[in-house]
Chains A and B, each alone.
Chain A
Amino acid sequence: EPEVTQTPSHQVTQMGQEVILRCVPISNHLYFYWYRQILGQKVEFLVSFYNNEISEKSEIFDDQFSVERPDGSNFTLKIRSTKLEDSAMYFCASSVGRGRVGTEAFFGQGTRLTVV
């Protein structure tokens, strides 16, 4: 069964450093997302990406964050200068489309980011 894969599974970084979280969405999917879950809190939307551009972003997704689909298969989330409060589980997701058909987003297993 096709699945969304994320690497690494766990990333430890020093405050102020840049991190790149990587994702390979399901191959025939067209919409890509990043969500995060801070420990003990709910899953929160960060950004959606379609047709090589951001289609929507939350207030969390400030100038420190960026996304890219560099080669047609990978989908990356970059945090330029990490803060302690960026520590969370980051989930990549993809879906065939939006609307009633293909609305279901399939999630990767997550990358645990720890900022020290």
Chain B
Amino acid sequence: DQQVKQNSPSLSVQEGRISILNCDYTNSMFDYFLWYKKYPAEGPTFLISISSIKDKNEDGRFTVFLNKSAKHLSLHIVPSQPGDSAVYFCAARDLNTDKLIFGTGTRLQVFP
């Protein structure tokens, strides 16, 4: 039951360029979406979130876009930096529950 899907297991981007990570979801009851970043042997670190009443949220180099009609969200990182290299998880929440549903993650590698 993959309610949250990240179809690209990996992405490689040159330093300074834009990284675009994609996420699709199936449950129309999801009301809140989050991106987490995870380094090896560490827990997920909250990055940025967006409520379903918005279509864009920006925080520094990170911008999340939400297309509710397509049930699609994306995370843009610009400019990408080598320290951004990590696994990025998309997560979604239904307000009627407490739990986050995670995607399978996309491994981003930013090379010089």
Contacts and interface: CB of A to CB of B under 8 A. Distances in A.
B32 A43 contact: no
A73 interface: no
24 contacts: A35-B102, A41-B104, A42-B102, A42-B103, A42-B105, A43-B44, A43-B89, A45-B100, A45-B101, A48-B98, A48-B99, A56-B97, A91-B43, A93-B43, A98-B95, A100-B51, A104-B34, A104-B46, A104-B49, A106-B46, A107-B45, A109-B42, A110-B43, A112-B41
Given A91-B43, A110-B42, A112-B41, 20 more contacts: A31-B98, A33-B99, A35-B100, A42-B89, A42-B105, A43-B89, A43-B102, A44-B102, A45-B101, A48-B99, A91-B44, A98-B95, A99-B95, A100-B95, A103-B49, A104-B46, A105-B100, A107-B43, A107-B46, A109-B41
A17 interface: no
Contact of B44 (A50, A55, A107): A107
Contact of B99 (A6, A42, A56): A56
Contacts, number: 63
Nearest to B45: A107
Interface of A: 4, 6, 31, 33, 35, 41-45, 48, 50, 55-56, 58, 91, 93, 98-100, 103-110, 112
B21 to A, nearest CB: 15
A45 B44 contact: no
Contacts of B41: 109-110, 112
Contacts of B101: 45
Contacts of B45: 107
The A interface is mostly helix, strand or loop, or mixed, namely: strand
Interface of B: 31-32, 34, 36, 41-46, 49, 51, 89, 91, 93, 95, 97-105
A110 B100 CA distance: 17
Contact of A108 (B43, B51, B99, B100): B43
Contacts of A103: 32, 34, 49, 93
Given A43-B89, A99-B95, A105 B103 contact: no
Choose among A4, A6, A43 the residue with the greatest number of B CB atoms under 10 Å from its CB.
A43
